[in-house]
Structure 1
Amino acid sequence: MRGSGVILIVLIFGHLFVNLMLDGGIHAIDFGFVAGKYAAPFWQWWDVLMLWFALIHGANGMRTIVNDYVTHAGVRKVLVWALGLAAALLIILGTLVVFTFDPCNGVLEDGAMWETCQALVK
């Protein structure tokens, strides 16, 4: 928990600094900003690592709370399994979203992103 907490501090404050302090700050964050960020493997891995560490850290913390306060062994086992399954599912889905993100998916010819997506295809 301590190790993942330290890593999370670096990942989260790096994320906040880049998103909120650089290049126009919070006013620059829009769909194009996210699409540009996820075009770079560095930022994909940064966000995926932040997601993995946050979910594992949070699920482990919740597991500790369940182990401390739930006295019935059967209920405790069900809750710990539910936490593990929820964390695993969110890690898988979040990872898929980050690595399969396509800003041009579903863009129509009359849409604002059409010209940008056509330039990317060429």
Structure 2
Amino acid sequence: MTTTAPQIVPPRSRSSRGNFELNSWLFMRGSGLLLLVLVFGHLFVNLMLGEGITQIDFAFVAGKWANPFWQVWDLAMLWLAMLHGCNGLRTIINDYAAKPNSRFALKTLLYFGTAVVIVLGTLVIFTFDPCIDPKSTLDVCTMK
């Protein structure tokens, strides 16, 4: 029977990496619980209250995002979901990407994609203007 020797990972400041991994693990647990509350609250308000799924249209979103509470709610849901998913994929990349160059490239793409979605999502939430009609130059709310 043959056995293989365990792979030895070169140490790179174990204390700082250990703290990062511990904090990462704690973040996953905390963000997961908070995401459950945010997502089920989102689903309840959007689907169970009022007329259900038939009420969801442009006007529904415009009315919801007119309230800063719902902007912050959706922003927290976006940020936590993206950071939670990014952290999970980072762990998977660390576990399965054998070559350091592959690991670096995959993590770079992951971080770039996460940053783009977070920035664009945040811009959409805070710059959303329901009064702009994309088909004309008129401001629909004031009819200028």
Same fold (TM over 0.5): yes
User: What is the letter of the counterpart of residue 73 of structure 1?
Assistant: P
1:66 maps to what in 2? Answer: 93
- Matches of 2:134 and 2:49, distance apart in 1: 28
1:4 maps to what in 2? Answer: 31
Q: Of residues 55, 58, 61 in structure 1, which corresponds to 2:82?
A: 55
Q: Larger C-alpha radius of gyration, 1 or 2?
A: 2
5+ residue gaps, structure 2, are 1-27
Aligned length: 116
What CA deviation, in whole Å up to 9, does each residue of 1:77-97 have, x standing for no partner?
111121111101110110000
5+ residue gaps, structure 1, are none
Which stretch shifts more, 80-89 or 38-47? 80-89
- Matches of 2:105 and 2:43, distance apart in 1: 36
1:87 maps to what in 2? Answer: 114
- Matches of 1:27 and 1:47, distance apart in 2: 20
| Higher relative contact order (CA closer than 8 Å, sequence separation 6+) | 1
Q: Of residues 13, 19, 40 in structure 2, which corresponds to 1:13?
A: 40
User: What is the letter of the counterpart of residue 88 of structure 1?
Assistant: A
- Matches of 1:84 and 1:108, distance apart in 2: 35
Q: Percent identity?
A: 57
Shift of 1:106: 2.8
- Matches of 2:128 and 2:64, distance apart in 1: 11
2:61 maps to what in 1? Answer: 34
Shift of 1:107: 5.2
Moved over 6 A (4+): none
SS of the aligned residue for 1:34 comes to: helix
